[in-house]
Chains A and B, each alone.
Chain A
């Protein structure tokens, strides 16, 4: 085959899908009358059909890649062309032509028609794509698109009926949701084999893989093809206008599941679960659908349930899992599409003619609508499986296959099919005779008029085809069934030829029995309804239960978990963390083997007292004071751990925290009860084991031989490189300058936050609080000392404990002391710049110290070193790190002071009228 042919065929195949899209787009864009819209839609489908026929005539075969869409995910837009896929596509496009034309007539002058037909065209395109796609992921995408389109289509009448949205949502969730596991199945197939159907056919997957893939894909089949227990959405979807039901819910969309089964048969038909699951499910669906159809009054619902039943029959047939069964399934699929679409459209005609669809009001339509009567007769005959129509041929073939299946499966299948078919005969009779014969049971029915040509042409064509299909069995077999089923199964199938008359055979006897019993059943029931049966089977109960269960669960969870106080879920998290530390509890024995250090024990004792007091003593302020005491004991522990920097920082932090608390205390303690916190066993049950785990961890960490490389690296590098002896500071200032920068920013942020929170409108007379005379005198003494200390810490920091942080903290303490004593107004008057601006300048210096060396072509935070000795004896080692440190000091001191002032002003000034 030449390249040009391949390219041509690629474009032709793409055109098949594109034509309806164009029609849909055109209709969305232009306001046309419904009749024109129907014509446009039908033309789109017709063009598709023409292209399909063209490709069929060319005997196109193989994969045509259009576009490597998402190669990373193996998503490729490609078409799988063979007589099988093309024939199914032809069926869809052909019914499409008829339905679009019918829809144009059906919608009359209604404003919704154009949009519905446009969406219907898009749906058709998705359906054609689904059928022709070779890539599994494209198949999935088209599959979901059909579901989405159906959602909008069912919603067409949402403004007229209340239950429409619920029905549409149900259909969407069930079919689109059911397809999600299929995606996993496809992903799985792609990972063990290939994402291309054609390539998968060439592989022979192990049974395990086949089973997993089948189980993942099965929900999609069952939901889309409305098998029990997912069947309920289909009768619900009858809320849609008739053309839509005729197309989606009889001929095409509901067949997608079966088409997928046919496609997948060569891939995972080998798993025993194929038969074990599909046959019973299909059987139950077949019987139950028949039973329910028998009890319906609304003929459209009757058709819906009958569709459920026949879908079950087809699932069962395909489930038999032999080449011959697949062949029979394919034939039934075509036959069913023809008669069911015709019947649905006839129902639309009846509705249009008699303005009712209820059997209790219909009757005697033959008089006024003779044409419809004849078409419906042929179509009903086909559905009931009477010779010489298509339905008979296909049912015969199905029954024939049963003789070839395993014994047990055979029994189950025969019983199901026979029962289902008896029902079919009965409800078909009920529909047909109830509508057309007897006398009219309502005024509307008696005044029925014959529907126009738009309503009649589609049933006419479909009825004719059903007839031709049956009579021309021999040619159908040769020119249609054989090539189609061979190419779909991927190998030739040895099968007896189709014929209307095989002589007296078991299937024929069964058929005769079915018709007889069916007729008998119809006569016995004679128009009486049937009880709807167990709820679990009859309605969307499963779906609703699922939904309401989810709701109830969500409500409960939402109250129980989200509504709980954080203490509950903190507890939960902590218990979760606790589980991990269980293996460490053994370490606790080390308490008795290690030497206790005397000073440490003393500190510990104080800490114990403070914590006990914190929990057991009354008083809100006591708590905060004792917290400070605990902080001091921790500082002492730092001292014992040889971390003098931490001691200083910790002490200053404790002081500052206490100061801030004191500033905000009036507001903070209002809700806190002064009575002791006391002990509660539930909380202790979480807290004590966690505390023990912490202690055990300390021992475990001690036992771990530390890898000395990293610390030694720092220790060795510090004196030589940065010329400083205080390793911690050197690390902070030089190695981890960036970290310091970040920390400083953090403090500025907190200060900003305080400022932002307490931003206030300046209004009213403000009275200011300041310290007493004694306090002011004391401050006068302490303040210079505090500032000196801060300066010393800053300057000596590079060698001795200190540095920017602590220095900044000391400055902040000094400043807070200052404004507490003198009042903020006079404090402001005495300092040159507002504290928050000092903070900003500090931040700027920090940035500059980092960026300027860069501008000068040197690394950031480059530092120069030297010794400055203004008095000879008192040598200060200087380093450009100093600038950096000054920046830190300014930022921290400024930020904290500004924050403290805000708090102070908020708590200590009143507006007129007071708080």
Chain B
């Protein structure tokens, strides 16, 4: 199972990072989803994989049972990821409804309004800001 897991992590992580590095928000969101899949798989890989699910604990020993802790943790992580994705969709919808572009470009630090000339002009009282 290990090489399959490794290959899958490779695929998910590469594609995920690739998409996170895109500009539009939807792509970033999809990328984040892929990255979180990869992270969850790594989490599982960090415990012993075992041959039996801990669910069906055999009556006797615990030989070969998969590690329950990462599983429980991944469960939590999945739910949180879902909650965040849902919120994100709503936020995107709210933003789109108000006609905003949905790029994740930040406001530049020194745009027109901040430019020294504008500040200077305002200092001298020549221009009042709109």
Contacts and interface: CB of A to CB of B under 8 A. Distances in A.
A98 interface: no
10 contacts: A660-B90, A686-B17, A690-B14, A695-B6, A698-B5, A698-B45, A702-B2, A702-B45, A727-B68, A907-B93
Given A558-B110, A562-B106, A899 B75 contact: no
B41 A642 contact: no
Contact of A667 (B41, B69, B71, B96): B96
B42 A694 contact: yes
Interface in B9-58: 9-28, 30, 33-34, 37-38, 40-42, 44-57
Given A641-B1, A750-B84, A649 B30 contact: no
A-B pairs with lowest CB-CB distance, top 5: A691-B14, A600-B4, A667-B96, A750-B83, A558-B109
A643 interface: yes
A141 to B, nearest CB: 36
Contact of A668 (B26, B42, B72): B26
Nearest to A601: B4
Contacts of B5: 600, 637, 641, 698
Interface string A723-742: 00111100110001001000
A6 interface: no
B90 A899 contact: yes
Given A565-B105, A671-B101, A725-B55, A591 B7 contact: yes
B106 A563 contact: yes
Interface stretch (A52-60, A241-249, A608-616): A608-616
B119 interface: no
B79 A623 contact: no
A612 to B, nearest CB: 9
B82 interface: yes
A596 interface: yes
A555 interface: yes
Interface of A: 555, 558-559, 562-563, 565-567, 570-571, 574, 590-591, 594-597, 600-601, 603-604, 607-608, 611, 614-615, 620, 623-624, 627, 630-631, 633-634, 637-638, 640-646, 649-650, 653, 656-657, 660-661, 663-664, 667-673, 677, 683-684, 686-688, 690-699, 701-702, 706, 708, 710-712, 714-716, 718-719, 725-728, 731-732, 736, 739, 743, 746-747, 749-751, 753-754, 757-758, 800-801, 805, 896, 899, 902-903, 906-907, 915
Interface string B66-81: 1111011011101111
B121 interface: no
A548 to B, nearest CB: 12
Contact of A706 (B48, B57, B85): B48
A603 B41 CA distance: 14
Given A642-B53, A691-B13, A746-B79, A736 B72 contact: yes
Interface of A is mostly: helix
A719 B101 CA distance: 54
Contacts of B48: 706, 708, 711
Contact of B92 (A614, A668, A715, A739): A668
A668 B89 contact: yes
Given A563-B110, A657-B33, A667-B93, 17 more contacts: A563-B109, A630-B34, A634-B41, A637-B5, A637-B8, A637-B41, A643-B74, A667-B92, A672-B24, A683-B22, A687-B17, A694-B10, A696-B6, A711-B67, A750-B86, A750-B87, A754-B87
B44 A641 contact: yes
Nearest to A594: B3
Contact of B44 (A638, A697, A715, A719): A638
Contacts of B68: 711, 714-715, 718, 727-728, 731
B127 interface: no
Contacts of A677: 19, 22, 27
B71 A687 contact: no
Contacts, number: 322
Given A604-B8, A671-B25, A701-B45, A630 B66 contact: no
B103 interface: yes
A747 B79 contact: yes
A701 B75 CA distance: 20
Contact of A672 (B2, B26, B83): B26
Contact of A716 (B10, B50, B62, B104): B62
B118 interface: no
Contacts of A596: 3-4
A795 to B, nearest CB: 16
Interface in B78-130: 78-87, 89-94, 96-97, 101-106, 108-110
B97 to A, nearest CB: 6
A675 B111 CA distance: 31
A565 B104 contact: yes
Contacts of B44: 638, 641, 643, 646
A242 B22 CA distance: 64
B78 A899 contact: no
Interface centre among B21, B44, B57 (most CB of A within 10 A): B21
B34 A604 contact: no
Contacts of A567: 20-23, 104
A653 B1 contact: no
A698 B42 contact: yes
